[in-house]
Amino acid sequence: MSKPVLWLRCEKKEFERRSALTPTTAKKLIGAGFDIYVERDEQRIFDDAEFEAVGCKLVENNSWPSAPKDIPIIGLKELPESTDPLPHTHIQFAHCYKKQGGWSSVLARFHHGGGTLYDLEFLEDENRRRVAAFGFHAGFAGAAAGALALAAQQDGKKLGLLEPYENEEAMITHVKSTLGGSGKNVKALVIGALGRCGRGAVDLFRKIGLDENNILKWDLDETAKGGPFQEILEVDIFVNCIYLNSQIPSFITRDQILAAGKDRRLSVVVDVSCDTTNPFNPIPIYSINTTFSDPTVAVDVGPENPPLSVVSIDHLPTLLPREASEQFSSDLLPSLLQFPNRKSARVWTDAEKLFKEKLAEAVAAEGL
Give the residue numbers annotated as catalytic, written as ranges: 77, 95
Our CB check for ligand NAD shows the closer of 38 and 189 to be 189
- Residue 220 CB, shortest distance to ligand NAD, in Å, is 5
Our CB check for ligand NAD shows the closer of 283 and 316 to be 316
Our CB check for ligand NAD shows the closer of 270 and 362 to be 270
Residue 301 CA to its chain's centroid (Å): 28
Non-local CB neighbours of 185 within 8 Å, separated by 6+ positions: none
Non-local CB neighbours of 341 within 8 Å, separated by 6+ positions: 348
Our CB check for ligand NAD shows the closer of 73 and 145 to be 145
Contact 138, 314 (CB under 8 A): no
- Residue 136 CB, shortest distance to ligand NAD, in Å, is 8
- Residue 232 CB, shortest distance to ligand NAD, in Å, is 12
Contact 318, 324 (CB under 8 A): yes
- Residue 58 CB, shortest distance to ligand NAD, in Å, is 28
- Residue 272 CB, shortest distance to ligand NAD, in Å, is 5
Beta bridge partners of 36: 6
Residues that bind ligand NAD (CB under 6 A): 133-135, 138, 191-192, 194-198, 218-220, 223, 241-243, 248, 272-274, 313-317
Q: Are strands 35-39 and 89-92 parallel, antiparallel or unpaired?
A: unpaired
Of the candidates 99, 156, 140, 175, the one whose C-alpha atom is nearest the C-alpha of residue 327 is 140
Beta strands in the chain (DSSP E): 5-8, 35-39, 57-59, 73-74, 89-92, 116-119, 188-191, 215-218, 237-240, 268-271, 297-298, 309-311
Of the candidates 203, 184, 186, the one whose C-alpha atom is nearest the C-alpha of residue 149 is 186
Alpha-carbon distance of 40 to 38, in angstroms, equals 6
Our CB check for ligand NAD shows the closer of 99 and 243 to be 243
Q: Which residue of this chain has its Cβ atom nearest to ligand NAD in the complex? A: 195
The sheet carrying 215-218 orders its strands as: 215-218, 188-191, 237-240, 268-271, 309-311, 297-298
Amino acid at 131: V
Our CB check for ligand NAD shows the closer of 191 and 310 to be 191
- Residue 127 CB, shortest distance to ligand NAD, in Å, is 12
Contact 363, 105 (CB under 8 A): no
